Amino acid sequence: MRRFGLLASALSAALVLAGCGSPKEEVNVYSARKEALIKPLLDRYTEQTGVTVNLITGSADALVERMKAEGEHSPADLLVTVDAGRLYRAQQEDLLAPTRSDELDRQVPPALREPEGHWFGLSVRGRVIVYAPDRVDPANLSTYEALADEQWADRICIRSSDNIYNQSLVASLIAHDGEADTQQWAEGLVANMARDPVGGDRDQIKAVAAGECDLAVVNTYYLGMMQAAEDAATRDIGNRMAVFWPNQDGRGAHVNISGAGVAANAPNPDKAVELLEFLVSDESQQWYAETNHEYPVRPGVPVSERLRSWGEFKQDDLPLVKLGELNAEAVKVMDRAGWK
């Protein structure tokens, strides 16, 4: 009788559990992008699918260290960050899983994703030259390489060498021109800086407006955010800048991405892939262009009037994985050139 009682108790417990319904569907996102630049899309995904998105934001380096510390017990399903160089670092730390998705392969061009599917581009930004039209004749602008010419002495503002965007730009130059020529270029660029590097891309734009320099190298979406800012003074500074797309007669302008990869220890990998596929959908790609002032990874998706105002451009089709592979060499070049 006792054995029968235990069996009945076990059966009752199973029925109770079955009556509780299926577990809540969720996906856990670690994002180095600010909440305002990604949460609206995550909310739309939840509205359309019913899947709960748990969002953790922080700096890229902090999130990578967190995932390393959490190890196989990490709750992260998806890592979202900016710059292919950072995604490559996370991949090298074995934090991202190779992912196969016909939809992602179809929608994300090969140059904007890692060949084995460790990460995929979600949006594109160009690293361009912005200049003061009253002090710079665009006919004198041409390539990144030409920024080392003597005509630009004491006229250039740019961020520091520890900035990943600049490291990736230099890595792209190494890929195209070789390390020796890039070393000579970096030394010329440093000699042409109007001041020691300080601040972020917005600060470089403000420095041009203030007359501290005549041109700066920045990511396009920073200019877009300034031109769309609520603050009138910030809008005025942004609208006083003109955009020049370098290397249009050659390989095209250097571009980089915001992107994401499925975490190596993801507890919900299927949902992570589903969310990735949503982030490259028409709806999401148009939102990037309209709200974040970034270009879609997918050709043919309409961009905002603001992005159109900067003109059409040819982009460098260098596989972005090269930016990670050549990062160490880029840092050495910048250090040897005295790029602070």
Token pair recorded at residue 92:
């090298």
Give the pLDDT confidence score for residue 8 in this predicted structure: 39
Distance CA 318, CA 55 (A): 32
**Is residue 139 located within the same domain as residue 238?**
yes
Residue 12 maps to a domain: no
| Nearest-angstrom CA–CA distance, 251 and 235 | 32
What pLDDT does 23 receive?
59
Shared-domain flag, residues 166 and 276: no
The answer to whether residues 294 and 123 touch, using CB atoms and an 8 Å cutoff, is yes
Has residue 267 been placed in a domain?
A: yes
> Is 139 in the same domain as 249?
yes
Cβ proximity of 88 and 321 under 8 Å: yes
In a domain, 145, yes or no: yes
Rounded Cα distance between 294 and 306, Å, is 10
The answer to whether residues 117 and 262 belong to one domain is: yes
Task: Report if residue 61 sits inside a domain.
Answer: yes
Q: Is residue 296 part of a domain?
A: yes
d(CA 311, CA 247): 14
Residues 177 and 271 in one domain: no
* E strand or H helix that includes residue 156: strand 156-157
Asked whether the beta carbons of 267 and 259 are under 8 A apart, the reply is: no
Q: Are strands 215-219 and 120-131 parallel, antiparallel or unpaired?
A: antiparallel
The two tokens of residue 318 are 């260098």
Tell me: do 222 and 329 sit in the same domain.
yes
- Amino acid identity of residue 171, one-letter, is A
Say whether both 166 and 222 belong to one domain. yes
User: What 3-state DSSP class applies to 240?
Assistant: coil
Domain at 137, CATH number = 3.40.190.10
State whether 206 and 325 are in the same domain: yes
Q: Are 227 and 57 in contact (CB under 8 A)?
A: no
Looking at residue 18, its pLDDT comes to: 36
Q: Which two tokens stand for residue 145?
A: 């390489």
CA dihedral 165→169→171→173, nearest 10 degrees, is: 180
DSSP lists the bridge partners of residue 54 as 28
For residue 276, give both structure tokens.
């990735």
Residues 203 and 262 in one domain: no
Residue 13 lies in a domain: no
Helix (H, G, I), strand (E, B) or coil at 77: coil
Count of structural domains, the chain: 2
Collect all residues with Cβ–Cβ distance below 8 Å to 328 and sequence separation of at least 6. Answer: none
CB 126 within 8 A of CB 151: no
Helices 232-239 and 201-209, packing angle to 10 deg: 80
Cβ atoms < 10 Å from Cβ of 148: 18
Residue-number span of the structural domain to which 180 is assigned: 126-254+319-336
8 A C-beta contact, residue 320 and residue 167: no
With H, G, I as helix, E, B as strand and everything else as coil, classify residue 299. coil
Taking residue 254's Cβ as centre, other Cβ atoms within 10 Å add up to 26
Q: CB of 169 within 8 A of CB of 254?
A: yes
Tell me the residue type at 236. D
**Residues 6+ positions from 134 with CB-CB distance below 8 Å:** none
Averaged over successive runs of 10 residues, the pLDDT of the chain (340 residues) comes to 37 36 80 90 96 95 96 97 94 96 95 96 97 97 98 98 97 98 98 97 98 98 95 96 98 97 97 97 89 89 91 96 97 98
What is the DSSP-derived secondary structure letter of residue 25?
A: P
Provide the whole-model pTM: 0.89
Residue 153 shares a structural domain with residue 229? yes
In a domain, 290, yes or no: yes
289 plus 241 within the same structural domain:
no
For 109, other C-beta atoms within 10 Å of its C-beta total 14
Selection from 45, 61, 20, 216 nearest residue 122 by Cα: 45
Asked if residue 326 and residue 180 are part of one domain, the reply reads: yes
Q: Are strands 156-157 and 120-131 parallel, antiparallel or unpaired?
A: unpaired
88 is a domain residue = yes
